Amino acid sequence: MAIGDPKSNSNRRLVDEALREGGFGSRDASMYNLIHGIHSLNKGVSPAPVNRDSTGYTFFTKPMLNLTYNNIRYVRKLEFLGDPNTRSMGCAIKCMLTSTSSFGGGYVAATPRSEHVDDRNPFVSLLSNTLMTLTGFPDSSLDTFTSEEGYAKEAMTWADGRTQHFGPVDLTAEFRNVKGDPVTTFYIAYLEYMSRVQTDHISPHAFMMTHKYIDYMMAIYRLVMDESDRFVQKIGVVPAAFPTATPDAAAFNVNREKAFTDANATVSIPFRGNGFISNDPIVAWAFNQSVYGCWPGIKSACTPLVGENFKYRGVLDGKCLPLIDEETYELVWWAPNDLFATAKNLIDS
């Protein structure tokens, strides 16, 4: 039994034995009974386990902005992104805003690349790691149609519409800011680029324009996990979204009662999105394609942390990339082979 598998917990066996002795049967049997027939005794009471989902993960894909030096050098507020120091915040933010995905084959990310940003990662780790709340996802709903009333005020009603949400989506994300204010700086640069593209001061890549792609869109994936944090219980995506504001003005407020301002301790960012797809197998496929786009050879260059390798996940945290097993829906973390070998020697020695 794999480490981390909830079935390996001996407490499960003890609980099942206690339920059997109490006349309820094991939890597996109780789930069968819950679905199979209506209980005439102990109405409203069932030993079936309560659903417990883990909060899971949120992934923001990198947009594909044209942040080449010649494109942004005349925009003062974006000039810091052209910093040639590969350890600077400007270079790091530039690389978080410019995916190296092989999508389309006609896109080339701006250089130089940051030492702090993994170009093989299609997601903005800064946002996933600092996200505190994310709200605004639309429920699945169905419109109805009701006929005109008859002589006795009789009327018929039936379903009329789609459950899929193809319209606009408004999300609000709150991030915990950290020293150096990178979250706010990231979004200031993001909004400035979108504004300048709209007003024709700078241009997207030619490939984006010829194919009518909007380069500043990012996908927002939500993965709700089971209580073991291994298997995807629910998955959803806003496939194309962009921020619409950043609370940068709050930092200028004055409060003499405090020596240090906490106005930007958290950053609340509104997003405008296009559509929401939930619990559709194509979302898991699209999630994996995002990873393959930045690292086509991930499966040969990395080791999956499953089975006996699951115990190395702690020491390799932050160094792996996720893929969803499209059959079992297990979220598998893949570690580069060299890092995995080092971790294995460290733990096993």
Which tens digit of pLDDT belongs to each residue from 214-255? Answer: 999 999 999 999 998 999 999 999 999 999 999 888 878 888
Asked, for residue 75, whether it belongs to a domain, the answer is yes
Asked, for residue 39, whether it belongs to a domain, the answer is yes
Mean pLDDT, residues 259-285 taken together: 91
With tokens 């609980």, the residue in question is 15
CB 312 within 8 A of CB 3: no
Same domain as 192, residue 66? yes
CB 273 within 8 A of CB 220: yes
Same domain as 263, residue 189? yes
- Distance, in Å, from the CA atom of 217 to the CA atom of 88, rounded to the nearest integer, reads 25
The domain of 327 spans: 297-349
Same domain as 198, residue 260? yes
| Cα angle 73, 74, 77; round to 5 | 85
Mean pLDDT, residues 124-141 taken together: 96
- pLDDT at position 6 over 50: no
Same domain as 237, residue 132? yes
Same domain as 182, residue 64? yes
Boundary-marking domain end, from 34, 50, 66: 50
Taking Cα atoms as reference points, which of 17, 14, 41, 44 lies closest to residue 29? 17
Mean pLDDT, residues 296-320 taken together: 95
Asked, for residue 179, whether it belongs to a domain, the answer is yes
- Classify 126 as helix, strand or coil: helix
Boundary-marking domain end, from 253, 279, 305: 279
Same domain as 126, residue 13? no
Same domain as 178, residue 37? no
Domains in the chain, number: 3
Task: Using pLDDT thresholds of 50, 70 and 90, give the confidence band for residue 2.
Answer: very low
Output the six-digit token pair for 87: 């350890």
- Classify 57 as helix, strand or coil: strand
Asked, for residue 345, whether it belongs to a domain, the answer is yes
Taking Cα atoms as reference points, which of 103, 83, 101, 99 lies closest to residue 91? 83
CB 322 within 8 A of CB 56: no
Output the six-digit token pair for 229: 């944090």
- Distance, in Å, from the CA atom of 12 to the CA atom of 108, rounded to the nearest integer, reads 53
Same domain as 59, residue 43? no
